[in-house]
Amino acid sequence: MITTLKQELRREVIKKRDSLPHEERIKRSRKICDTLRNLREFQEAKVVHFFLTMKSEVVTEGAIRGALSSGKTVVVPVIDKKHRHLSLSRIDDYDQELVITTHGILEPRPKFYKFIPLEEVDLMMLPGVAFDVRGHRLGYGAGYYDRLLKAEEERPLLVALAFEIQIVDEIPVSDHDIRMDKIITEERVIENR
C-alpha cells in the first residue's frame, strides 16, 4: 500500500517538476542556493555534501562552485549500483574531476576519488522527489541516502533543496525513511529540528 502511494506521488511530483521551464528552474535554483549560503549552519560548516543535479532537480552547480571558492571541503555522492551503495568523495575542481557516467549522472571520475567518511561531514544537502512540512522525504526509490544515513549513529545536519512545487501535504513513510532537518525552497525555509 505505502509503495503504491509513493509511486503515484513520485510520478505526480516529477511530472510537475519536469514541467518547469529550464530558465525558471535556474532562477528558482539561484534563490534556493542564495538562501542556503545565508544559513548560519552553512556558513559555519567546513565539510559540506552536495548532490549533483540530475534532470529537473534544483541546480546546485553554482552553490558547489561558490563553496569550493570559499574554501569549504565539498563532497559529492558516488553510486555503486551493483552493491546498492553510496559513498562520499571530495572534489576540488568541478570542471576537471566530474564526468557524466553511463547512468547519465554527473560523478567524480574514478581517478579523482577521495572518499570521506560520513562522520566528517558537517552539513548534507539532499535531493528528493517530494517533501512534507514535517521533514519527510520521498526519494527516487533506491534508498541510497536512507541506507547511508541509517548506518551511522550520528549524522550531519540534513538540508533538502527543493522547489516549492515539491512540497506536498503528506509523504507516506516507512520505518527506514529519514527526515530532513531543514527544507529550503525558493519561497521559504521549513525547520524540523
| Residue 40, pLDDT above cutoff 80 | yes
How far apart (Å, rounded) are the C-alpha atoms in residues 54 and 32? 16
The reported pLDDT for the residue numbered 151 is 65
Q: What mean pLDDT is reported for the chain?
A: 93
Q: Where are the domains of the chain?
A: 2-122+140-191
How far apart (Å, rounded) are the C-alpha atoms in residues 98 and 108? 4
> Which candidate, 86, 64, 60, places its Cα nearest to that of 73?
64
The reported pLDDT for the residue numbered 155 is 87
Q: Tell me the pLDDT tens digit for each residue of 49-86.
A: 999 999 999 999 999 999 999 999 999 999 988 888 89
Q: What does each C-alpha distance from 19 to 16, 77, 87 come to in angstroms?
A: 5, 26, 31
| Residue 103, pLDDT above cutoff 90 | no
Number of Cβ within a 10 Å radius of residue 116: 17
DSSP-assigned states of every residue in 36-86: HHH-HHHHH-SEEE-PPP-TTSPP-HHHHHHHHHTT-EEEEEEEETTTTEE
How far apart (Å, rounded) are the C-alpha atoms in residues 181 and 114? 27
| Residue 3, pLDDT above cutoff 80 | no
Please state the CATH superfamily assignment of the domain spanning residues 2-122+140-191 in this structure: NagB/RpiA/CoA transferase-like (3.40.50.10420)
Please give the average per-residue pLDDT across 117-125, as a whole number: 96
Please answer whether residues 121 and 144 qualify as being in contact, where contact means their C-beta atoms are separated by less than 8 angstroms: no
How far apart (Å, rounded) are the C-alpha atoms in residues 166 and 62? 21
Query: Please, what is the Cα angle at 58 between 4 and 117, to 5 degrees?
Result: 85
